[in-house]
Amino acid sequence: MSKLDSKSPTLKRISDIIWEVSPSFKEGMLVPARIYGTEKIIKTIDKEVFDQITNVATLRGIKKYAFALPDCHSGYGFPIGGVAAFDVDEGGVISPGGTGFDINCGMRLILTDITKEEIKPKIKELIDALFKAVPSGVGSSGALNLTKNEFKELAVDGAEWAVKKEGGDTKDLKATEMYGVADWADVTKISEKAISRGIKQIGTLGSGNHYLEIQYITESNIFDKKIAKKWGIFDGQVAIMFHCGSRGAGHQIATDYLLKFLDVMERKYAIKLRDKELASAPFYSEEGQDYYKAMGCGVNISFANRQIIFNSVRHVFSSIFKKDADKLGIRQLFDIAHNRPSLEEYEIDGLRRKLLVHRKGATASYYKGRKEIPVQFRKDGSPVIIGGSMETGSYLLIGKEGAKETFCSTAHGSGRTMSRTAAKKAFSGEDIIKSMLSNGIYEKSASMAGIAEEAGLAYKDIDEVALSVETANISSRVAKLLPIGGIKG
Amino acid sequence: MSHSFVEDVSMADVAFNAENRSLSGLFKDCANAVTEIMIKNTKSISCKIKKRFVISTDTLEKLLFEFINEIIFYKDSENLIFNRYNIKINKGVSFTLQCEACGEKMNTLKHEYIVDAKAATMHMLNIKKRGKTWRTTVVIDI
């Protein structure tokens, strides 16, 4: 796919890291679009992002800018890595396409007291056991056998339900965004189809770019020693990171409401759009509120899913090390989503405004003191998890004051530079697995073609992405985590 | 008649073009493409379980969108994948599709998995008839 040209006259350089497209670029743009990234990053972004982010700038009630973050690439409707904030008291909209179809898809980072040297001899055994305990791949179904009523309770109570009914630690909830529950969820707003698709999938990873990794941290990859110490991170430490979301239920909720919004948005709310995937309705409309409440169920399903997976991880580590998970120091550092709109307050032109910040493939990065941050992290800033490709590692960062500019939003991953279809032609899954093994990474997947699609070379340079958000003072690096083993959905 | 996967339409998802002399054939091609996204050896799918469904919409694009999503729904809710379809499409006040799909439960020992298809999208979705041939481009969310 052709890439952006940093010398293009339509792309005005605002700073080393910010590039702007004027509202005069496209009819209907209400605000400028801003793309964040070093020049090196800008050259890796596919051109369709330009069209998509300027379409987002036409949505009703948008404030300040439509943002594309350094990991952005084209999606549908919003680009992935796209952020937009809508003033809900001025008719601002809510959009299922701006939420992302995998509602509340996100990352969970688990720390341990195990060292890399201790885990090395057991890595194959651990990954093989995790592969069995955490189902992944096409149509995977989970370990839980839920009744419809239990699934409905879970859709209302989120990770809290999972801890109460299936075990876990209440400390996990304290280390989860929103403490693991969307309290506005209303299960009467989701369809029977959503329930049928989701009921067997709790505790599963899914497919595509979803993964579970065992990682390690070295002294040279700790960038903020003070925060690292405070958060319990040390040289040689083993961590576990996983990436997944609300599975089929979340997708069904998004699909159901995309169709509902398409039916009413022009007829009832005079909203005309350039792209059907941007289907929207005013937040305070009947349809907008129904979607918000249904989307809350998707959020809860996702938090519960990650909680159940964490329980499986605890069980596997405990049985292989023959020690309680607590004695292995297994504890959750944080759980954070990158596909969820969030109601937040910001000062705009001297006035406090209530905005619905859509982050599609973008992570919240709250600077210290923001009320959205769970209490234990509030004094310093929110932890941010940026998941990389299976070959290159991931980052843990912390929210910084510069994030005021982006409505507290930062990157969520590396961001693709090559399409899945192209990657499958360019790489062999078997070769990647062999090469990773020779680099000390034991990777397991249900699909060799899926491995090829997820090749490290199909993604941007994650170091450059992390450096871009740090240079913009949106989030700063705490530590880089390198993989030693993983399962790929 | 055929479908082909395209590289430069969608970065993180999978796009395909399909064309067929008949509208029902075009829908069948799209269904086969969705199964090929998920399973490598689609010929290995046996016809053991039949599902019948009817969909009515006001546009052809929505009809295709809902049809593909119905196939994905059976994959998630009942672990079913199909490779045989009997499709009838009628145009009255609205478009109505009647489908009988035949397939079996997914089985790791028999079917080689690739990647999960999660939803049809409206991105670039249109159905056009040029000459005697129906054509469409579909992007599937991965």
- Kindly report, residue by residue over A399-427, the tens digit of the pLDDT: 999 999 999 999 999 999 998 889 989 99
Q: What is the pLDDT of residue B1?
A: 66
Of residues B131, B128, B134, B121, the one with CA closest to residue B15:
B121
Written out in words, the top-level CATH class of the domain with range B2-141 is alpha beta
Distance from CA of B130 to the nearest CA of A (A): 23
Q: What is the pLDDT of residue A4?
A: 72
* Interface contact A207-B116, CB threshold 8 A: yes
Q: What is the pLDDT of residue B73?
A: 97
Q: Is A338 a catalytic residue?
A: no
Of residues A274, A355, A271, the one with CA closest to residue A90:
A355
Q: Is the dihedral angle over the CA atoms A59, A62, A65, A67 positive or is it negative?
A: negative
**Residue B122 with chain A: CB contacts under 8 Å:** 76, 258, 262, 275-277, 279
The CA distances from residue B53 to A139, A403, A488, in Å, are 21, 49, 34
Of residues A130, A152, A488, the one with CA closest to residue A301:
A152
Task: Enumerate the β-bridge partners of residue B49.
Answer: B103
First to last CA, chain A: 25
Least confident of A447-451, A465-469, B86-90: A447-451
Query: Among all residues of chain B, which has the CA nearest to that of A200?
Result: B77
Distance from CA of A293 to the nearest CA of B (A): 21
Decide: B21 and B133 in contact? Cβ < 8 Å.
yes
Query: Among all residues of chain B, which has the CA nearest to that of A197?
Result: B77
**Residue B14 with chain A: CB contacts under 8 Å:** 420-421
**Residues A137-165, mean pLDDT to the nearest whole number:** 91
Probe site for chain B from A141, A277, A419 (most B CB atoms < 10 A): A419
**Residue A80 with chain B: CB contacts under 8 Å:** 11-12
Query: Among all residues of chain A, which has the CA nearest to that of B112?
Result: A447
Cα separation, A96 vs A77, whole angstroms:
10
* Interface contact A453-B10, CB threshold 8 A: no
Decide: A162 and A154 in contact? Cβ < 8 Å.
yes
Judge whether residue A3 has pLDDT over 90: no
| Average pLDDT over chain A, rounded to an integer | 95
Q: Which percentage of chain B shows pLDDT scores above 90?
A: 82
Please pick, among A243, A251, A358, A412, the residue that the annotation labels catalytic: A412
3-state secondary structure A273-313: CCCHHHCCEECCCHHHHHHHHHHHHHHHHHHHHHHHHHHHH
The CA distances from residue B80 to A97, A139, A411, B27, B63, in Å, are 27, 9, 36, 18, 21
Query: Among all residues of chain A, which has the CA nearest to that of B74?
Result: A197
Q: What angle do CA A318, A413, A435 make, to 5 degrees?
A: 70
Residue A417 one-letter amino acid:
T
Query: Among all residues of chain B, which has the CA nearest to that of A192?
Result: B77
**Residues A327-349, mean pLDDT to the nearest whole number:** 97
**Residues A54-81, mean pLDDT to the nearest whole number:** 96
First to last CA, chain B: 25
**Residue B81 with chain A: CB contacts under 8 Å:** 139
Probe site for chain B from A99, A138, A211 (most B CB atoms < 10 A): A138
Cα separation, A361 vs A69, whole angstroms:
9
**Residue B15 with chain A: CB contacts under 8 Å:** 421
Q: What is the pLDDT of residue A311?
A: 96
Decide: A429 and A452 in contact? Cβ < 8 Å.
yes
* Interface contact B77-A101, CB threshold 8 A: no
* ipTM of this predicted structure: 0.93
Judge whether residue B117 has pLDDT over 80: yes
Nearest CB to B115; choose among A76, A275, A453: A453
The CA distances from residue A224 to A2, A281, A329, A364, B101, in Å, are 37, 43, 22, 19, 57
| Neighbour tally for A346: CB within 10 Å | 17
**Residues A425-449, mean pLDDT to the nearest whole number:** 94
3-state secondary structure chain B: CEEEEECCCCCCCEEEEEEECCHHHHHHHHHHHHHHHHECCHHHCCCCEEEEEEEEECCHHHHHHHHHHHHHHHHHHHCEEEEEEEEEEEECCCEEEEEEEEEEECCCCCCCECCCCCEECCCCCEEEEECCEEEEEEEEEC
Q: What is the pLDDT of residue A138?
A: 84
Domains and CATH numbers, chain A: 12-102+341-382 (no CATH), 107-334+384-488 (3.90.1860.10)
Nearest CB to A138; choose among B12, B113, B120: B113
